[in-house]
Amino acid sequence: MRGSVLKFLCFSLLLAVQGMDVMADVMTKESKFNPRDPVTILFLGDSLTEGYLVNEEYSYPSLVKENLLGKKYNVKIVNGGLRGDTTAGGLNRYKWFLKTDFDVLFLALGSNDGLRGINLVNIRKNLKEIIEKSKKKGVKVILAGLNIPPNYGEDYANGFAELFEDLAKEENVLYYPFLLKNVAGKIELNHNDGIHPNEDGYKIIAQRMTDYLIKNLYEKK
């Protein structure tokens, strides 16, 4: 009798483990899109996303679309960038976008908050709410990391930079390190204001982002 019970328990455990493996495999497959399937990506951001001071076709969302279509990915891009927008403003605007259909949210808000010295707790709260609303809708989220100069002190600047990665880990969403990597601070890649990229700067941002999206959003071809 004991032997039969032991065999039953071992068999049940084996089925459970196999079931977990299958579930893990399904979850992995569901976490990425097939390159042939239509995917809509909403970029929610400020002037950096809008493409301030360049023609629309040179904004990084437009260049990313061009890159992905050129590689035969079935993608649609929605540029939700708005000059001067904050996390609070983006949260309010996002409620309208939620009425539309899209699959992925690339969230790149916070720069204007940081430049205004807005409380980090409030910035985090707004971003968290956007992420939570996305999850409820079944939208995959990519949170972009941002940096600011130490106008309000090193502690504030460091806390600002850290909150994005910390929040991405807490909410278990994809994290895209520093949006302006390899572009920020380079005179030849920015306009005279030293903040907004020029066409060459946006091309670098878009290429890096394209590589990231292919790696993290799509199954291998």
pLDDT at 145 over 70: yes
Give the predicted TM-score (pTM) of the model.
Answer: 0.85
At 30 the pLDDT is: 52
User: Structure tokens of 145?
Assistant: 């990391």
User: Which sequence positions are flagged as catalytic?
Assistant: 47, 193, 196
The answer to whether 104 and 32 are in contact (CB under 8 A) is no
Cα angle vertex 43, ends 41, 47, to 5°? 160
Chain-wide mean pLDDT for the chain? Answer: 89
Neighbours of 115 (CB within 10 A): 15
Please tell me the distance from the alpha carbon of residue 71 to that of residue 69, in angstroms, as a whole number: 5
pLDDT at 115 over 80: yes
Residue 169 binned pLDDT confidence (cut-offs 50, 70, 90): very high
In this prediction, residues 192-202 reach a mean pLDDT of 97
Of residues 19 and 199, more confidence is placed in: 199
